[in-house]
Amino acid sequence: MMRVIDSHTEGEPTRLIVEGGPPLGGGSLAERRRLFAENFDHFRSFAVNEPRGYDALVGALLCEPEDKTCAAGLIFFNNVGYLGMCGHGTIGAAVTLAHMGRIGNGTHRFETPVGVVSVDLKSRNEVTIENVASRRSREAVTVQVPGLGAVTGDIAWGGNWFFLTHDTPHPLTMAEIPALTVAADAVMKALAAAGITGDGGAPIDHIEFFGPPVAPDAHGRNFVLCPGGAYDRSPCGTGTSAKVACLAAAGKLAPGQDWVQESVVGSRFVARYRRDAAGAVIPSITGRAFVVSEAVLLRDPDDPFADGLRPI
């Protein structure tokens, strides 16, 4: 039996496990994520895959933080594996913890496998997160993609590794989501085939297409394909952080200046950044989340799909 609370952040769903998660013990969140993946992966599939979940659902396991200055620890995962950080999921978790009475308005610290992030709960639904340090690793990398030809983009870290294209192969509209998904998947496979990675050989597992905004007060519109083949309904918190890092590196966005990022469905984040003492880009993302359900997930040992349908 597992107790979960579901929310969405600007359209992108998060399922927070609040009871009945795997027994991971103490230690760093990175180490506990490793134990989760190696010994308890059936909990991940049980929580987010069909028949209890669906491809777009991102899970978050609520943990006791190792750092006692933090209000919570979070380990993020999806239909195929584990994430380093998740911006929309952190916003969703903050609103959910407030719904549970665990935190109130104000600034809190959450521990994640890639570091501690700051969370400012501004109201019942609005949250600003200050993400981990983000950076552009490589600029204007071109890869040959079957069916698309030469595609150029930047490689950047925003808590996950992204390839951020300089334009889009299809209009960034909901009607074009199937075509955008196929194109982004082709880019991801082409990067892997060409041996193009993030720092230290890390796989690039998020593809981000960019185009002009629809709203007059926005600065850009994106489509983000996540590992596992689902697109992000929100503008993607770690993807927007990676975009801010690229803009900062290019001298196109000043510290403290707002960048309004639309998603392919029209939802938005407001992003900005500061530089820390070492000069690193520290992005912040403001968005809204809403709690949509509370549930108890049950496991029948006679169920042939008791631990969820796992992608082939």
Name the percent of the chain lying above pLDDT 90. Answer: 98
Q: Which of 63, 70, 226, 236 is catalytic?
A: 236
Rounded to the nearest 5°, which phi and psi values hold at 60? -140, 130
State the average pLDDT over residues 8-20.
98
pLDDT over threshold 90, residue 6: yes
The two three-digit tokens of residue 231, written as one number: 């697109």
Work out the pLDDT band at 166, boundaries 50, 70, 90: confident
Q: What pLDDT shows up at residue 270?
A: 98
Nearest to 230 by CA among 43, 11, 79, 112: 79
* Ordered domains of the chain (ranges, CATH): 2-131+292-297 (3.10.310.10), 135-275 (3.10.310.10)
User: What residues contact 213, with CB distance under 8 A and at least 6 apart?
Assistant: 219, 220, 221, 260, 262
105, 177 in Cβ contact below 8 A? no
64, 73 in Cβ contact below 8 A? yes
Q: Is 226 a catalytic residue?
A: no
Mean pLDDT (the chain) is 97
pLDDT over threshold 70, residue 312: no
State the average pLDDT over residues 3-15.
98
Helix axes of 237-249 and 87-99: crossing angle, nearest 10 degrees: 130
Encode pLDDT of 197-238 as tens digits.
Answer: 999 999 999 999 999 999 999 999 999 999 999 999 999 999
Q: What pLDDT shows up at residue 311?
A: 61
Q: Which of 70, 86, 226, 246 is catalytic?
A: 86
pTM of the predicted protein model = 0.96
Encode pLDDT of 77-92 as tens digits.
Answer: 999 999 989 999 999 9
Q: How far apart are CA 159 and CA 244, in angstroms?
A: 12
Look at 166 and 244; give whichever has higher pLDDT.
Answer: 244
Work out the pLDDT band at 46, boundaries 50, 70, 90: very high
Q: Is 236 a catalytic residue?
A: yes
